[in-house]
Amino acid sequence: MNKKKRIIVLIISILTGISVLTASAFLYKYLHQDQLSLDYEYLNSISPDQLLYYQKKYPGNWKDYIAVLSLLNDPYTDDHSKELSLRDKYIKTIIAQLESNKQFADIDWIGINRTEKNKIIKFRRILEYYTIYNPEEYGFPVEKAPTYDDTYGADREGGQRRHEGTDLFNKKGTNIISVSTGTIEQLGWNRLGGERVGIRGSDGNYYYYAHLDTINSSLSINKQVNKGDLLGTMGNTGDAVTTPDHLHFGIELPNGKWINPFPYLKVWEYYQFKNE
Ligand SMILES: [Zn+2]
């Protein structure tokens, strides 16, 4: 090969290498983001009441109980019909093992097939990896207990879009506080949100607080905030101008998917107000 040919081969090899790396990076990102959505789909499927019950009763190993019980409400399958009562019975024997202080790693999986066992182990890993339900880890966004319902997915603007958050109602001027540590990414006015604050949490999620009456004047873009920091006060700015004062609170995953904040709010609310 002469020098010219060698250079051409070298350039082609480099370009091929770059393409392969770029394609792999995209694929990795795609698969990873898909997994992120699935993981949160699982977290969202947990009943906050059940979660709080086990957190209070078994502070040391509530994740074990929730992971096992999640098999009865498996979000990854639509088939809940087959031998549910038999499966219930097996689940009960596992719960009994946990109640007699058996470690999760030492569980005797009698009656549970390998697929189901692997699902329980996966649920347990997700609960370990994501801290969003850990007691006292996150705060509640409204200083005084508000009224709120699960309205995620409800129609907005005559079906043109869906409600991608939770509305928390209280008096105008009620303090709005940050649920987590993070960095301010969006601040000030937009058409729908009115006066709004968007925070990139240290967990990677985007936390969105909208319709504020006033924004804390000490905030600025890229500023760090801590859990419990004052963001502003409740109002009805933006497209909430015809509705009662409320905070619209949203959680967007790093992959752009808005998840339902309702179950997390229920858990955070309990820990925020439990001593009152
Ligand atoms: Zn809303």
CA angle 75, 45, 164 (to 5 degrees): 110
Cα 206 to middle of ligand 1, angstroms? 16
The whole-model pTM stands at 0.85
**Residue 265 clears pLDDT 60, i.e. is over it:** yes
> What would the pLDDT profile of 126-151 be if each residue is shown by its tens digit?
999 999 999 999 999 999 999 999 99
**Residue 82 clears pLDDT 60, i.e. is over it:** no
Cα 229 to middle of ligand 1, angstroms? 22
Cα 239 to middle of ligand 1, angstroms? 9
Give me 221's structure tokens.
Answer: 């873009």
> Which residue matches tokens 């504020």?
212
Cα 153 to middle of ligand 1, angstroms? 10
Check: CB of residue 212 under 8 Å from CB of residue 155: no
Give ranges for CATH 2.70.70.10 in the chain: 155-273
Mean pLDDT score of the chain: 92
> What would the pLDDT profile of 182-201 be if each residue is shown by its tens digit?
999 999 999 999 999 999 99
Q: Is 132 exposed, middle or buried (0-12, 13-18, 19+ CB in 10 A)?
A: buried
Helix pair angle (84-99, 62-69), 10° resolution: 170
**Residue 84 clears pLDDT 80, i.e. is over it:** no
Distance CA(106)–CA(132), nearest Å, equals 27
> What would the pLDDT profile of 2-23 be if each residue is shown by its tens digit?
888 899 999 998 888 888 888 8
DSSP conformational letter for 219: -
User: In the prediction, which pLDDT does 111 show?
Assistant: 87
Q: Which CATH number fits domain 155-273: 2.70.70.10, 3.40.190.10, 3.30.230.10, 2.20.25.90?
A: 2.70.70.10
Cα 165 to middle of ligand 1, angstroms? 6
Long-range contacts, stretch 152-155, CB < 8 angstroms, 24+ apart:
152/260, 152/261, 152/262, 153/260
> What would the pLDDT profile of 220-263 be if each residue is shown by its tens digit?
999 999 999 999 999 999 999 999 999 999 999 999 999 999 99
User: In the prediction, which pLDDT does 23 show?
Assistant: 84
> Which residue matches tokens 């569980």?
107
Check: CB of residue 216 under 8 Å from CB of residue 232: yes
Cα 167 to middle of ligand 1, angstroms? 5
Cα 238 to middle of ligand 1, angstroms? 11
Helix/strand/coil (H, E, C) string of 126-141?
Answer: HHHHCCCCCCCCCCCC
**Residue 98 clears pLDDT 70, i.e. is over it:** yes
